[in-house]
Chains A and B, each alone.
Chain A
Amino acid sequence: MKGNEENSVGKLSLDMLIGLSIFLFAFIFIAQFLPSVFADARSDISVFSEAYKVSVLLTEDPGRWINGANPSEKGFHWETEWYKDNISFRPGLAVVGEAGFINLNKLMEFKNVTITYCLSYDNDSWIRDVFGLTTPSNSYHVNISMLIPFSTSYRQYFSVNDSGVEIFAIGPPIPDRKVSRYERLVNLPKINDFYDRYSFTSPNPMNENITQTTLTFPIGGAIIYISNITQCTTTYWIKINVTLTNTTSGNTSTTEVFKLENDNCDPANVSAVTGYHSITRELNEGYCELYTNFTETYQESPDQTNVTLRIKNLNGFVELSRVGEIVGDRIVVKLVVTVWEGG
C-alpha cells in the first residue's frame, strides 16, 4: 500500500525527464557548436599555407619549363620560353642558385603572362591555376605586391620606378575581410630605373651648393655617398631639409632632417664623413613629423613636398629610390603575398 502511494506520485520521472532534456539539448548544442569554434582557425591555417607556398615558389625558385613535344628540352628560364608552342611552365622569380634575389626579366615576363592570359593585372586566374590555388574543395584569390620596407600590414606603399609605375602589383584588390598575408624581403638589382642620383661637387670650398627636388613620401630608400672633402681647413657640411607647401593657401613648413658637419680632416672625422650613409629613416620620420605639425598648425594638408640638399666643401652623390632600401648594389623590397578564400 505504501509502495503504491509512492509510485503514484511520479515526480521523480518528471525531474529526470527535464534533466535529460537539458542534458540532451546541451550535448547536441555543444556537439554542433564546437567544430565551428575551431573552423576559423583551421581555415586560417589552410589559407596561410597557401600564402607561404606561393611566396616560397616566387622568391626562392627560378621556375621551370618543359617542351611537351620534346621532354628533353627543359630548364629554369621559363621567361624566354613560355609563349612558344607545347611549353608547360611554372613561374618563379629568383635568380638561378640565389634564393631571395629577383631576376628582373622573370619579373617583367610574369607581368606579361598576366596581361596575355588575363588581360588585366587585377585578374589572378592564371596564377591560381599555376600555383594550385583552385582545388575541388576550395578556391583562393591571391594578390602579390612589391612594397617599400617602410610598409606594414596596415600601411601599404607600393614600390614604384622613376616614372611612378608600380614595380609589381598583381591580383585583385585585397578585400576588407579575413586574409592571410606572408611577407618576404627580397633583393632587386640596382638598375637606373629604380633610383635617382644627384651628384654634387664643391670646386670652390667656400660656396654652398644647393639642389632642390620634388619628392613623394614616404621614400623607399636614400643614401649619401661622400667621396672626399675639397679643402680640410674650411668647414664642410651636408644638410637636408624637407619643405611642405599647400600651393593654394601658400602655407609652408620646413625642417632639417639630416646634418653632417665638421671643420677639419682628423682621420676619425674623415672616416666618419666619407663613405655611404643611409638616410632613409631620417627622411621618412622627418617628413612624418613635419606633416603632423603642418596639419595641426594650418588645419589643412600640404600638396607639395620639396627636398633641399645643401652641400659645402664636399664631393659625392645622393641616391633616392621609391622602390626600396638601397643596400650596396641592390635594392631591398617587401614582396607580400596575400591569399583569401573566395569563389
Chain B
Amino acid sequence: MHRMRQSQRFRRDEKAQAFTLEGITAALLILIVTYTLFESSVVVSPIWSEYGDIQLKQLGYDILRSLDVHRTNMNLSACPDTQNVTRNSLQYMLIQLNASNPQPNRDFLNALDAMLDPSIKKRVEVYWVNMSNNNTIESLTIINNTPIPDAVGVSRSIVLYPCEITPTSPFYGSVNDTALVVEVRMILWYV
C-alpha cells in the first residue's frame, strides 16, 4: 500500500518535470524575442527627436533670413522701386498679396522649395496689427497645410513701406502713413 502511494507520487512528479521544461522553453523564447526586438528596431529617445527639431527650426530661421532682402533706406516718404525688389523675397511675396485671394507668388514658392528638403512640409501665416481698428491682430494663412504635433514654428518681422500697400492688399487700411510690420510665421515638419 505504501509502495503504491509512493509510485503514484513519483508519477505526479514526472508530470511536474514536463511543466518545468515548458517554463524553460518559454523563458528562452522570451529572451530570443526581446533580443530580436532590440536588435532590429531603432530606439528613438525623446532627446533624439528634439535634436531633429533643432535642425528643422534652425533651417526655418535661416530660410526666412535668406529671403528677407532688407532695405537700408528708412525714409518712409521715399517709395522704394518695387520693380527692383526681387520676386523670390519675403518683401515681394507680401507686396503682391491680394486680399481677395491671398496666394504667395511662384518665385517665392520656388525659392522656398529649393531651400527645403522634399521631406519637409510647411505652413505659412502672416500676422499684423490693424491700427485703424483698435489695434486688433489680424492674420492670413497663405500656405495652408495642417501641421502635425511635432511641427516647429519660426517667424520673422518684415517692414512694408506705406507706398507698397496698394488698395488690393490685405494690409490696406491697417495703417495710414506709417510703416507696417508684418510677422511671417512658418511652421515646418517632417513627413
Contacts and interface: CB of A to CB of B under 8 A. Distances in A.
A223 B88 CA distance: 10
Given A52-B54, A325-B111, A22 B59 contact: no
Interface stretch (B20-28, B136-144, B183-191): B20-28
Contact of B115 (A30, A41, A149, A182): A149
Contact of A15 (B9, B20, B88): B20
Interface string A278-321: 10111000000000000000000000000000000000000000
A130 interface: no
B86 A327 contact: yes
B45 A41 contact: yes
A90 interface: no
A326 B88 CA distance: 9
Contact of A280 (B13, B34, B44, B114): B114
A45 B86 contact: no
A100 interface: yes
Nearest to B5: A5
Interface stretch (A69-77, A108-116, A184-192, A205-213): A184-192
A237 interface: no
B70 to A, nearest CB: 9
Interface stretch (A138-146, A240-248, A269-277): A269-277
Interface in B78-104: 83-89
Contact of A185 (B34, B38, B62): B62
Where chain B touches its partner, the secondary structure class is: helix
A99 B34 CA distance: 49
Given A48-B51, A100-B62, A185 B115 contact: yes
B56 to A, nearest CB: 10
25 contacts: A19-B23, A26-B31, A33-B35, A37-B43, A40-B43, A41-B47, A45-B47, A45-B48, A48-B51, A52-B54, A149-B115, A152-B117, A183-B55, A183-B59, A184-B59, A184-B62, A187-B66, A275-B85, A275-B87, A276-B107, A278-B110, A281-B114, A326-B86, A328-B69, A328-B85
Interface of B: 6, 9, 13, 16-17, 20, 23-24, 27, 31, 34-35, 38, 43-45, 47-48, 51, 54-55, 58-59, 62-63, 65-67, 69, 83-89, 107, 110-111, 113-115, 117-118
